[in-house]
Amino acid sequence: MTDAKPGPDISIPQDELHFTYARSSGKGGQNVNKVNSKAVLKWNPAGSRAMPPAVKQRFFEKFANRLTTEGDLVIMSDEHRDQGRNVSECIARLKDMIASVWRAPKVRRATKPTFGSKQRRLKSKKEHSEKKKSRSWRGD
């Protein structure tokens, strides 16, 4: 099995990924009673030497609720009847998670409204006000 490659220049070493297997629920007939096709991936992002510190920080902020008390990320897959496909599914999910935090979010810079947009807004407010005023009845 090769290393998982989630980012442009990151490769998670295979020795950091720990797989366990269990009997899967769901379809498969009598096959589910005798084959351990469910794959469970455990990975410790804090101890990983593959991710830069900034990416690790973003990963912990985004996926803090997915980590166990020991700091491990647990990903399970029992979608397929084949153990190998479930392992590939777990790795693909891990890649997607890391890829989602790989790039730093774009910093929003505050801008001011243009002079023209201010004028249009005030004109619109004035027209709306005039329309409301014209509806009122002033009886003497």
Q: Let me know if residue 54 belongs to a domain.
A: yes
Tens digits of residue pLDDT in 83-102: 889 999 999 999 888 888 88
> Residue 59 belongs to what domain range?
14-102
Q: How confident is the model at residue 113 (pLDDT cuts 50, 70, 90)?
A: very high
Neighbours of 6 (CB within 10 A): 21
Tens digits of residue pLDDT in 120-130: 999 999 999 99
Q: Let me know if residue 108 belongs to a domain.
A: no
Which distant-in-sequence residues (6+ apart) come within 8 Å of 23 by Cβ?
32, 33, 35, 36, 37, 38
Q: Let me know if residue 125 belongs to a domain.
A: no
- Lowest-confidence pick of 1-10, 18-27, 38-47, 59-68: 1-10
CATH number at residue 60: 3.30.160.20
